Amino acid sequence: MSLFVSKMTKDLRLKYIKRIGFIIINLKIDTFDFYKPMSSITIKEFYQDILGESCPDINQFLTENINKDIGHFNVFDISKMFRESKSKSEMPYNRRTYYKISLINGQNKVEYADRTIEIKDCAILFASPKVPYNYNSHCINQMGHFCVFTKDFLPKNKIGTDIDNLPVFSPQSDFVFQISTEQFYQFESIFLKMHEEINSDYMFKYDLLRNYVMELIHFGQKLQPILPVENNKTAASRTTTFFIELLERQFPIENISQLLQLKTPADFAGILGVHVNHLNRVLKETTGKTTGEIIGSRIFQEAKILLTQTQWNISEIAFALGFEEVAHFSNFFKKHSKQSPQHYRELSIV
């Protein structure tokens, strides 16, 4: 969404920007350097999208040199953004490098993994960088609030655990929770305190804001999820798309330290929040190949590229592709090509 910043006076724009600038921002999120098909939205891109090109001054605050000790946090009013936005109320599938908690009041549809969630009234949504999703509004009368923050804003030493271990941010989380009108106002009271606090001059306001975020998380973890809409064909197609996107994110391998993270069917099933057998059945139906066959084929393709286009030795290539032993890599390569990695490299040179 693009806020209606262009009609603000310069002083008002700078005042809005300084609200962001005073927050300590971390732009170096621990993510893979994946290439498309699924784009990543960073905190910097998030604010550039909201503020638009009419506020070039935002760049002076969103630099990588800013201290990352506190992390980044901000909170927004949804109804205000809808009133002032000229863009579509649609959020395509993408992988964000920040966490988001959205309090929603209005008809919406959320798609993620193999599920479609229809929000008819009030709901709370917990989004993490690990799970891409699609969000569409069915009406213009949207109300609520949302906050965004980086992983450094809720470090382990502050909350007692890694944020990704919290149930609502797990890849297996139900992600969207339906709430009553009464619960909506309970959540909203916390967001209103966030709005008030972030504009205050209180020295320890970020500690207080961190507590408010944790209050939202604990409140959310007590809720029951909205049941997904059943559509086997659409769900299978979406699961296949997500699987391929997760697989392709890991390539190309551009340096020795860039290690393959998702290597087995279980790895992918865990991220997608489905049983490994279900994933295998869906892929077999939609592609004619098993999960293992698709993964193996893509790794083999990358292995051939690394053997012919880099000077890395065989053990370095094996390690980058997730093989603990060179012998395992050699056996894998021979299975797919009927020749050893070294022989394949020598033939390609000739």
Quote the pLDDT of residue 14.
Answer: 40
- Tell me if the pTM is above 0.85: no
Quote the pLDDT of residue 12.
Answer: 40
Quote the pLDDT of residue 8.
Answer: 41
Inform me whether the pLDDT recorded for 321 exceeds 90: yes
Separation between Cα atoms, residue 116 and residue 237, nearest integer Å: 12
Type of residue found at 157: N
Inform me whether the pLDDT recorded for 48 exceeds 80: no
Mean pLDDT in residue range 149-167: 87
**Per-residue pLDDT band at 81 (split at 50, 70, 90):** confident
φ, ψ of residue 234 in degrees (nearest 5):
-65, -40
Bridge-based pairing of strands 90-96 and 133-137 is: antiparallel
Give the end of a domain, one of 191, 221, 251: 221
Looking at the structure, tell me whether residues 270 and 301 fall in a common domain. yes
Domain presence at residue 226:
no
Looking at the structure, tell me whether residues 150 and 295 fall in a common domain. no
The three-point CA angle 31-54-71 to 5° equals: 30
Looking at the structure, tell me whether residues 29 and 178 fall in a common domain. yes
Domain presence at residue 331:
yes
Higher pLDDT, 61 or 285: 285
Looking at the structure, tell me whether residues 16 and 129 fall in a common domain. yes
Inform me whether the pLDDT recorded for 60 exceeds 60: no
Helix, strand or coil for residue 112? strand
Q: Which residue(s) pair with 116 in the sheet? A: 111
Looking at the structure, tell me whether residues 169 and 237 fall in a common domain. no
In this structure, what CATH number is given to the domain that contains residue 309? 1.10.10.60
**Per-residue pLDDT band at 90 (split at 50, 70, 90):** low
Looking at the structure, tell me whether residues 150 and 102 fall in a common domain. yes
Q: How many distinct structural domains can be found in the chain?
A: 2
Mean pLDDT in residue range 307-319: 93
Quote the pLDDT of residue 315.
Answer: 95
Domain presence at residue 311:
yes
Inform me whether the pLDDT recorded for 341 exceeds 50: yes
Looking at the structure, tell me whether residues 111 and 239 fall in a common domain. no
Quote the pLDDT of residue 207.
Answer: 92
Q: Which two tokens stand for residue 145?
A: 């609030």
Domain presence at residue 105:
yes
SS3 sequence of 141-201? CCEEEEEEECHHHCCHHHHCCCHHHCHHHCCCCCCEEECCHHHHHHHHHHHHHHHHHHCCC
Q: What are the tens digits of pLDDT across the range 210-219?
A: 999 999 999 9
Inform me whether the pLDDT recorded for 94 exceeds 90: no
Domain presence at residue 176:
yes
Separation between Cα atoms, residue 198 and residue 73, nearest integer Å: 9
Most confident residue range from 27-31, 102-106, 186-190, 259-263: 186-190
8 A C-beta contact, residue 70 and residue 198 = no
Looking at the structure, tell me whether residues 204 and 294 fall in a common domain. no
8 A C-beta contact, residue 219 and residue 90 = no
Mean pLDDT in residue range 205-209: 94
Inform me whether the pLDDT recorded for 55 exceeds 60: no
Separation between Cα atoms, residue 55 and residue 58, nearest integer Å: 6
Q: What are the tens digits of pLDDT across the range 267-285?
A: 999 998 899 999 999 999 8
- List the domain range (segments joined by +) for residue 262: 232-349
**Per-residue pLDDT band at 333 (split at 50, 70, 90):** very high
Looking at the structure, tell me whether residues 217 and 240 fall in a common domain. no
Looking at the structure, tell me whether residues 200 and 245 fall in a common domain. no
Q: What are the tens digits of pLDDT across the range 8-17?
A: 444 444 444 3
Inform me whether the pLDDT recorded for 185 exceeds 60: yes
Give the end of a domain, one of 163, 189, 221: 221
Bridge-based pairing of strands 115-119 and 176-178 is: unpaired
Quote the pLDDT of residue 227.
Answer: 53
Quote the pLDDT of residue 43.
Answer: 53
- Express as a percent the part of the chain with pLDDT over 70: 71
Q: What are the tens digits of pLDDT across the range 223-242?
A: 866 555 555 567 788 888 88
Mean pLDDT in residue range 95-108: 83
Does an H or E element contain 156, and which?
Answer: helix 156-159
Domain presence at residue 53:
yes
**Per-residue pLDDT band at 23 (split at 50, 70, 90):** very low
Separation between Cα atoms, residue 78 and residue 80, nearest integer Å: 5
Helix, strand or coil for residue 38? coil
Inform me whether the pLDDT recorded for 56 exceeds 70: no
Domain presence at residue 227:
no
| Mean pLDDT across the chain | 77
8 A C-beta contact, residue 276 and residue 267 = no
**Per-residue pLDDT band at 20 (split at 50, 70, 90):** very low
Looking at the structure, tell me whether residues 201 and 241 fall in a common domain. no
Looking at the structure, tell me whether residues 111 and 56 fall in a common domain. yes
Give the end of a domain, one of 169, 194, 221: 221
Residue 221's Cβ-side half-sphere holds a number of Cα atoms within 13 Å equal to 13
Inform me whether the pLDDT recorded for 338 exceeds 80: yes
